[in-house]
């Protein structure tokens, strides 16, 4: 019997992690803590609402007293920490929000864990979910390994790098059992449509322009979100304390090639003639400080813990498109209200 706090479980990746843990481990009690920001959505985990081993708590990790009380009440055995501000463009216009949630929020969780676990770190674990963006950017060759030096460029990646350092500091200084994983770009269902793939699906469907930053030559390394959740499961249960694992699918795409593939799939799904969706591609002003290329070497995870990605990108992208086309209500719900304001601010000035 284990009681596990998962933070950010109403978001994109968190909802997949919560689902996997609740369904795979009926003997665990999963407490999902989420502030329900614009990115958090209880509809993402509606199927779990009535499960006996699941409960939801609305709250803010920046509120130290609230976090301290939550730990005192629940006596968690472990934490899987995903709650974060996650969008690079938003971090460029509002860095402080990222410092608050990603840095202060993480330290609040670490402090509460320390207070409650300090007499017995060996039976507790703090798992911190991080990103490959902490490593900075690559040129045309090479890959990020677990020993690549941190070199973050955006306020988002700087805040994630800082939180990683704090997690390591609590392991090295206090002896807390902590593990970290750094993953590449995820894609799949329930992805908020401010990010490249869901935003493009939404725009193509509505015959709106697809905004590509710069020349579309930046490269990202895409991983099916359920494969990320499976990796988190394996690392959480089997990694040695104090270790770090890179997670990625060896699946690099330039943004423009990815969007052409997506347009081809959308043409087929929407019964459009070939090439029709691609006419919506519009090159817009580049993102400030835009990292050129990410590529993850996940061989340590594959060799030491036996994890392998399960899905080819073309198949995963088609499944993703199918999910968005058959979940119109979800998409309409999250793109009403504040989303429209964000979209105007972010894209009309470009």
Which runs of E-coded beta strand occur in the chain? Answer: 2-7, 28-34, 54-58, 78-81, 125-131, 178-183, 185-187, 210-213, 219-224, 244-247, 252-254, 281-284
Active site (annotated) includes residue 294:
no
> Min. distance of Cβ 34 from ligand DAU in angstroms?
16
- Determine which residue in the list 86, 148, 157, 189 makes contact with ligand NAD, applying CB under 6 A: 86
Nearer to ligand NAD, 85 or 291 (CB): 85
Active site (annotated) includes residue 133:
yes
278 backbone dihedrals φ, ψ, rounded to 5°? -65, -20
Judge contact between 282 and 209, C-beta under 8 A: yes
> How many residues of this chain bind ligand NAD (CB under 6 A)?
30
User: Stretches 179-187, 249-257, 284-292, 326-334: which one binds ligand NAD (CB under 6 A)?
Assistant: 179-187
Judge contact between 190 and 12, C-beta under 8 A: yes
Active site (annotated) includes residue 28:
no
The vertex-43 CA angle with 333 and 32, nearest 5°, equals 140
Judge contact between 5 and 73, C-beta under 8 A: no
Q: How far apart are CA 103 and CA 92, in angstroms?
A: 16
At which residue do the structure tokens 């060799």 appear? 303
> Min. distance of Cβ 260 from ligand DAU in angstroms?
13
Partner whose footprint covers residue 235, from ligand NAD, ligand DAU, none (CB < 5 to 8 Å by kind): none
Partner whose footprint covers residue 220, from ligand NAD, ligand DAU, none (CB < 5 to 8 Å by kind): ligand DAU
> Min. distance of Cβ 124 from ligand DAU in angstroms?
26
Nearer to ligand DAU, 7 or 184 (CB): 184
Nearer to ligand DAU, 29 or 41 (CB): 41
Of these residues, 156, 170, 187, 213, which one is catalytic? 156
At which residue do the structure tokens 């985990």 appear? 45
Partner whose footprint covers residue 8, from ligand NAD, ligand DAU, none (CB < 5 to 8 Å by kind): ligand NAD
> Min. distance of Cβ 184 from ligand DAU in angstroms?
5
Residues comprising the chain, all counted: 350
């Amino acid at each position: 019997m284990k009681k596990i706090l998962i933070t950010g479980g109403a978001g994109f990746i968190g909802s997949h992690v919560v689902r996997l843990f609740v369904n795979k481990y009926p003997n665990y009690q999963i407490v999902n803590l989420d502030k329900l920001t614009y990115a958090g959505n209880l509809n993402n985990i509606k199927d779990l609402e009535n499960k006996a081993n699941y409960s939801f708590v609305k709250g803010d990790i920046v509120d130290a007293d609230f976090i301290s009380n939550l730990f005192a009440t629940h006596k968690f055995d472990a934490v899987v920490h995903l709650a974060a501000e996650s969008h690079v463009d938003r971090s460029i216009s509002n860095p402080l929000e990222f410092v608050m949630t990603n840095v202060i929020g993480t330290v609040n969780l670490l402090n509460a864990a320390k207070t409650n676990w300090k007499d017995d770190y060996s039976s507790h674990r703090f798992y911190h979910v991080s990103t490959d963006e902490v490593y900075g950017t690559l040129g045309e060759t090479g890959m990020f390994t677990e020993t690549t030096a941190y070199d973050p460029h955006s306020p988002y990646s700087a805040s994630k790098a800082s939180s990683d350092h704090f997690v390591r500091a609590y392991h090295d200084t206090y002896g807390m059992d902590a593990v970290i994983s750094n993953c590449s770009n995820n894609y799949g269902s329930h992805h908020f449509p401010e990010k490249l793939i869901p935003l493009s699906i939404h725009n193509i469907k509505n015959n709106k322009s697809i905004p590509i930053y710069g020349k579309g030559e930046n490269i990202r390394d895409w991983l099916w979100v359920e494969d990320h959740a499976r990796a988190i499961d394996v690392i959480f249960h089997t990694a040695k304390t104090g270790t770090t694992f890179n997670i990625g699918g060896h699946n690099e795409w330039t943004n423009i090639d990815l969007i052409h593939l997506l347009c081809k799939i959308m043409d087929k799904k929407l019964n459009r003639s070939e090439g029709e969706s691609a006419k919506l591609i519009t090159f817009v002003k580049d993102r400030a400080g835009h990292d050129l290329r990410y590529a993850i070497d996940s061989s340590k995870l594959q060799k030491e813990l036996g994890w392998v990605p399960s899905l080819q990108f073309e198949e995963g992208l088609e499944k993703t498109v199918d999910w968005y086309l058959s979940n119109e209500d979800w998409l309409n719900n999250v793109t009403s209200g504040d989303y429209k304001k964000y979209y105007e601010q972010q894209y009309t000035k470009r």
